[in-house]
A and B are shown apart, each in its own frame.
Chain A
């Protein structure tokens, strides 16, 4: 009798656990459905919006026409979002049912993790999505928020005018470009390539010099090494603005005003870079260097074969930071730019041309920003595993 009771209890227990799991799963599916619908709806709407803006030819009424076209395709993006959500739901539910009872808790845990990650991705990517959407808004509508749904940020009357004006392929710019060679070069493409060249050259040279400097400070014997290093660090305590006018004076005296050299030459010696690399190189055991020397490696070989590959993660980090710095260094580049020559204008300075005394052309700034984040995004994609490697390696000290 007592064993029967225990059996029933156990059975009952198992039932409640099962019910709990199913309830949890249903809640998760509910969250997933709403998330999936909202996200896919916005993405499909964005695609439809971009398509409508693209196919509408440039004219006075283009905005309204594109709006109508979008309106007529409401069913398409809403329908696609519904279909996608249903397919996803069926997929997940079938997967859940196919999972054995014992493994269902693990399944639920994994699903929670994925949902949390999705929310994280949305939070991170939302500003970029907003930027893209604003780039398609006609002038004046940038700040208008949808009354029915404040989170619906895809414009309902899209236009490509901002992109056209930034890339100077709109009608007004074409007539300006016929004036002379200088006008022809005044476009976003020129600024973009200039910045790319300046930033990559600077980043490469800075990492190269900083790596050599850091190697000496970390591994070599040098009289008053510590004091010299402290002196170098002390210069970091002075705000960079203080150097700006003297540096500008020197650059002009060298006859470099308005050239690409002027953009990065004064920033090639990076104390911060030396400091960062030295801290990392301190963790590389001396015995490795000694082993290389015993094998007959020259100083240069020790540096390139042992030090650089080991310090690659941190070197990549420095490369990226320097690239970012020069990619967005407005004030210095503004000062050394020769505005009479558009070939010396870089991106941060070129972007500032869209801001007036009282008004900012938000649409233009956003569409230009869409292009300007591309190199940074690409660099991050390639360099991210070095970041992670750098973090874990730096954590272990001999």
Chain B
């Protein structure tokens, strides 16, 4: 084909493209009902269940319709920040737990107590609910919650003689001391095989800190307490896993094999992981189990992840939004949601109604009861950025735990809380 022909072809193709795609008007079926927009970040399966619940709610509220709009989780913060500045925001949205504080401090979401949240507050799990508790008020309702627990590779346990051939009982160590003992038996450096692998980000490290009862931010949110005695003890224990006992693979180093990849390939015997990977791991045909995270001085504990739903101040129909969101997170609907999607309920009422066939999920339900508080700050990613390098300095042996944590405390206090 000559160059001229290619050019002509390209031009014709382009003009056709303009004709087909330029117009972006779409029929939005306005049938007289008031539209409430709900921005969410659910995936395909979740959205389908959500639509079912919306339909039930619409049957009871004939004059309203809820339009679920999916936005990508990556970038939902940027999207909301910019949309709210020009008044293009939704009526309500599902946001990452760490984002509620920023929205509340920037005065863009409603204080739920004005809508009567105090009456029904007790039905939600405490740890996820606390992520929406800012300056003495509740600004969000948890809609989905997760935590991490200890995944272990049964085959590797069997090979190390730690699990009887026919036993299915979880053999995960109860305390960090036992964990180190067991870890030594599971580690075989000649085969590049390690007992444990961890990533170094604050959220993934919270199970360690929480099991020693070490808070990052004080309860009133006014001081950073990451340099407490308990935190120093925690960090020393974490560093000893890699350095002194050498049972951790150093997966926190840049470029190392990630815990997830090492685990599915049988390189790491134990990792922290959340329930979101249960189905995926089952597909790998790996023989794995889930156990509680070993306990420190305060027993087993874990972190809280997930999302909260919030109502924006820009909405004209706050009562209806609130009504829908409480309906959405009620025990009945949580039961349907969790059974259909194999997720952990956030409603205590649903805890009695839900029963999973998967023993791993039941273990997560147990672990969730011991979840510790997450640090609630205005800019959570900045908190990570300030703390993670200091923790890494300790893990790689450049600083002592005390030095690093008091440096981190100073930075967090200056740049995040007093600022």
Contacts and interface: CB of A to CB of B under 8 A. Distances in A.
Contacts of B282: 140
B6 interface: yes
Nearest to A333: B75
Interface stretch (B19-27, B327-335, B383-391): B19-27
Interface of B: 6, 14, 17-18, 20-29, 37, 39, 41, 43-45, 47-48, 51, 67, 69-75, 78-79, 82-83, 85-86, 88, 96, 146, 260-261, 264-266, 274, 276-277, 279-284, 305-307
Contacts of B146: 358
15 contacts: A165-B44, A176-B48, A196-B21, A197-B17, A260-B24, A334-B75, A334-B78, A334-B79, A340-B28, A343-B25, A344-B24, A349-B72, A355-B74, A357-B305, A358-B146
Contacts of B78: 331, 334-335
A172 interface: yes
Interface of A: 138-141, 143-145, 147, 165, 172-173, 176, 179-182, 185, 193-194, 196-197, 200-201, 244-245, 248-249, 252, 257-260, 330-331, 334-335, 337, 339-344, 349, 352-353, 355-359, 361, 382
Given A173-B44, A193-B20, A197-B22, 13 more contacts: A140-B264, A140-B279, A140-B282, A143-B265, A144-B265, A193-B21, A197-B21, A201-B18, A245-B85, A249-B85, A260-B24, A341-B24, A355-B73
B281 A194 contact: no
B106 to A, nearest CB: 14
A343 B20 contact: no
B44 A330 contact: no
Contacts of B79: 334-335, 337, 339
A357 B73 contact: yes
Contacts of A193: 17, 20-21
A377 B414 CA distance: 49
A343 B25 CA distance: 8
A340 B283 contact: no
Given A249-B86, A257-B88, A352-B74, A358 B24 contact: no
A341 B26 contact: yes
A358 B17 contact: no
Contacts of B281: 140
Given A252-B88, A339-B71, A172 B44 contact: yes
A245 B277 CA distance: 37
Given A140-B279, A331-B78, A357 B307 contact: yes
Contacts of A172: 44-45, 48
Contacts of A355: 72-74
A359 B82 contact: no
Contacts of A257: 86, 88
A259 B25 CA distance: 9
Contact of B69 (A194, A245, A339): A339
Contacts of A361: 43
Given A138-B283, A197-B21, A335 B26 contact: no
Contacts of B37: 340
B82 A245 contact: yes
Given A173-B44, A260-B24, A344-B24, A352 B72 contact: yes
B24 A258 contact: yes
A342 B146 CA distance: 30
A356 B279 contact: no
Given A139-B279, A248-B86, A180 B75 contact: no
Contacts of B51: 179
Contact of B17 (A165, A200, A252): A200
A113 B86 CA distance: 60
Contacts of B29: 180-181
Contacts of A141: 283-284
Given A144-B284, A181-B26, A176 B44 contact: yes
A138 B281 CA distance: 11
B28 A182 contact: yes
